[in-house]
Amino acid sequence: MNEPKEQHRYCDIQSLNDPHSTLKKFYTVNPIFICVISYTETSEIPGITMAGANSELVKYTSAADSEFLYYGRCKCINNVPATPDGKPTPGLITRSALQLSDIPFLVVDAGSKIKPSIPFISFSVKPGENIRSGNAVCFNDVKKLYDYGFTLGVQLAKTNDLVVVGESIAGGTTTALGVMIALGIDAKFKVSSSMPQNPHHLKNSVISEAMERSMVFFGDLRDEPFKAISLFGDPMMPSVAGIASGVIKSGSRIMLAGGTQMAAVAAILNSLHLPLDNISIGTTCYVAEDCFSNLVELVRSVSNDIPIYSCNLHLAESVKPGLQAFARGYVKEGVGAGGISIASMIKSNGRINGTVLLKAIELEYENVIEKVLLK
Name the site residues for its own copies (rule: CB under 8 A): 30, 32, 70, 102-106, 108-109, 115, 117-124, 148-149, 151-152, 155-156, 158-160
Q: Which is nearer to its own copies, 46 or 119 (CB)?
A: 119
Q: How many CB atoms lie within 10 A of CB 23?
A: 20
Q: Which is nearer to its own copies, 123 or 330 (CB)?
A: 123
Q: How far is the CB of 160 from its own copies (least distance, A)?
A: 7
Name the amino acid, one letter, at 84: P
Q: How far is the CB of 110 from its own copies (least distance, A)?
A: 9
Q: Which is nearer to its own copies, 75 or 328 (CB)?
A: 75
Q: How far is the CB of 247 from its own copies (least distance, A)?
A: 12
Q: Which is nearer to its own copies, 21 or 159 (CB)?
A: 159
Order of strands, sheet of 162-168, starting from the edge strand that comes earlier in the sequence: 13-15, 308-311, 279-284, 253-257, 162-168, 31-37, 105-109
Q: How far is the CB of 154 from its own copies (least distance, A)?
A: 8
Q: How far is the CB of 73 from its own copies (least distance, A)?
A: 14
Q: How far is the CB of 33 from its own copies (least distance, A)?
A: 10
CB neighbour list of residue 345: distance below 8 Å, 6 or more residues apart: 10, 12, 13, 311, 352, 353, 354, 357
Relative orientation angle of helices 225-232 and 200-214, to the nearest 10 degrees: 110
Q: How far is the CB of 70 from its own copies (least distance, A)?
A: 6
Q: In DSSP terms, which residues pair with 36 in a beta bridge?
A: 108, 167
Q: Which is nearer to its own copies, 106 or 296 (CB)?
A: 106
What is the distance between the alpha carbons of residues 340 and 345, in angstroms, rounded to a whole number?
9
Element (H, E) at 35: strand 31-37
- Using CA atoms of 113, 179, 280, 105 in order, give the dihedral in degrees to the nearest 10: -10
Q: Which is nearer to its own copies, 127 or 149 (CB)?
A: 149
What is the distance between the alpha carbons of residues 149 and 245, in angstroms, rounded to a whole number?
8
Q: Which is nearer to its own copies, 203 or 347 (CB)?
A: 347
Q: Which is nearer to its own copies, 70 or 292 (CB)?
A: 70
Give the CA distances from residue 154 to residues 161, 230, 236, 316, in Å, rounded to whole numbers and listed in that order: 12, 24, 18, 39
Q: How far is the CB of 357 from its own copies (least distance, A)?
A: 19
Angle 44-45-51 from CA coordinates, rounded to 5°: 55
